[in-house]
């Protein structure tokens, strides 16, 4: 009996092809530094996670789970750019999934995806720039409090909340906002291109929509839940590999997570943290959340 005939009688083990992998990167919360007791999304905080998502074995795609009311335009731009740079470097598709809200900077992050999906009830859009604050000049006057501020530079105390609002300072702020808005619009047009439907007066007015309406406007590509879409795209055996920044057990055990960046708790930090929490609450509240 020759070798070929002998091999025909031997049971041969069939090796199964390993399942495809999709890295899942969560982009949740307010974007940008938010205070000493609570940090928002920044490139510095997210970069290692983003890089890990693109280094998984058998990687077929990276999925972005976006749930953010926005925040810093600069950090939105930096995070989105890093995702796009790695996607092109590794030749990997990126799919973005909007959860409760992907608005303002949150939508900027979603635009890092080659395709964007949302639920019918998701809030999407708010392509605009906002600056909010309070003014207290009459309150100080009522209580006999004198505001004293000394600067070197005529515009250094511009828009001081304890002084009266000045038209030239408001005009300057609006000019800055326009520059940022133009950059936001350019980023959306670059990523969405001909898929956008409707005029700029509608799309870039700062208005926001449900996922269902966002499909009609071309702001997203379809409605769907992450697992459902990825199974349809890569098969039922696809493995969703969550990329997270779980802290070492010893940090949790020693209670270091209650510190701010390794610094001990202090009263000033507590006040800053409360203000940051109030600001974050206001951002979410804009979208009814």
User: Does residue 195 contact residue 221 with C-beta atoms inside 8 Å?
Assistant: yes
Check whether 6 has a pLDDT greater than 80. no
Residue 159's pLDDT band, with cuts at 50, 70 and 90, is low
| Residue 132: pLDDT over 70 | no
Would the pLDDT of 179 be above 70?
A: yes
What number is the average pLDDT over the span 106-135?
89
198 within domain boundaries: yes
Please tell me the predicted confidence (pLDDT) of residue 258.
Answer: 41
State the residue range of the domain holding 267. Answer: 19-129+182-285
Does residue 148 belong to any structural domain of this protein?
no
Least confident of 119-133, 164-178, 245-259: 245-259
How far apart CA 286 and CA 23 sit, in angstroms, is 31
Residue 12 belongs to some domain of the structure:
no
Question: Which residue would you say has higher pLDDT here, 179 or 17?
Answer: 179
pTM here? 0.78
Task: Give percent of the chain with pLDDT exceeding 90.
Answer: 55
Taking residues 263-285, what's their average pLDDT?
53
Choose between 85 and 273: higher pLDDT. Answer: 85
Say what the pLDDT of residue 172 is. 81
Residue 74 lies in a domain: yes
Residue 143 lies in a domain: no
pLDDT, tens digit (0-9, with 9 covering 90-100), for 208-260:
999 999 999 999 999 999 999 999 999 999 999 999 875 554 444 544 444 34
Asked if residue 240 belongs to a domain, the reply is yes
> What is the mean pLDDT of the segment spanning 96-125?
96
Q: 64-68, 163-167, 218-222, 227-231: lowest mean pLDDT where?
A: 163-167
- Domains contained in the chain, number: 1
Q: What pLDDT was estimated at residue 260?
A: 40
What pLDDT score was predicted for residue 113?
A: 97
Q: What is the CATH number of the domain that holds 91?
A: 3.90.226.10
Indicate the average pLDDT of the chain. Answer: 81
The verdict on residue 56 lying in a domain is yes
186-220 residue pLDDT tens: 999 999 999 999 888 999 999 999 999 999 999 99
221 in a structural domain: yes
* pLDDT surpassing 90 at residue 58: yes
- Higher-confidence residue: 102 or 17? 102
């Amino acid at each position: 009996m020759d070798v070929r005939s002998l091999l025909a009688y031997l049971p041969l083990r069939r090796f199964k092809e390993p399942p495809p992998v999709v890295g899942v990167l969560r982009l949740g919360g307010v974007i940008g530094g938010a205070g000493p007791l609570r940090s928002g999304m920044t490139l510095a905080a997210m970069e290692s996670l983003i890089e890990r998502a693109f280094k998984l074995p058998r990687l077929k795609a990276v999925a972005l789970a976006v749930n953010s009311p926005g925040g810093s335009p600069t950090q939105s731009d930096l995070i989105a750019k890093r995702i796009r740079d790695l996607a092109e470097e590794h030749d990997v598709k990126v799919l973005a999934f909007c959860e409760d809200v992907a608005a303002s900077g949150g939508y900027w992050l979603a635009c890092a995806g080659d395709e964007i999906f949302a639920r019918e009830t998701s809030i999407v859009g708010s392509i605009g720039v906002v600056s909010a604050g309070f003014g207290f000049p009459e309150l100080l006057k009522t209580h006999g409090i004198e505001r004293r501020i000394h600067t070197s530079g005529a515009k250094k105390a511009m828009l001081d909340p304890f002084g009266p609002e000045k038209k030239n300072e408001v005009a300057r702020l609006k000019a800055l906002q326009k520059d940022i808005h133009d950059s936001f619009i350019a980023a959306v047009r670059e990523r969405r291109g001909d898929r956008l439907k409707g005029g700029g007066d509608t799309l870039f007015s700062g208005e926001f929509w449900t996922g269902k309406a966002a499909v009609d406007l071309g702001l997203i590509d379809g409605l769907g839940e992450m697992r459902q879409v990825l199974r349809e795209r890569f098969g039922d055996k696809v493995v969703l590999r969550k990329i997270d920044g779980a802290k070492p057990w010893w940090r949790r055990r020693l209670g270091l997570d209650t510190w701010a960046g390794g610094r001990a708790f202090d009263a000033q930090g507590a006040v800053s943290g409360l203000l940051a929490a109030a600001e974050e609450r206001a951002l979410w509240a804009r979208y009814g959340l």
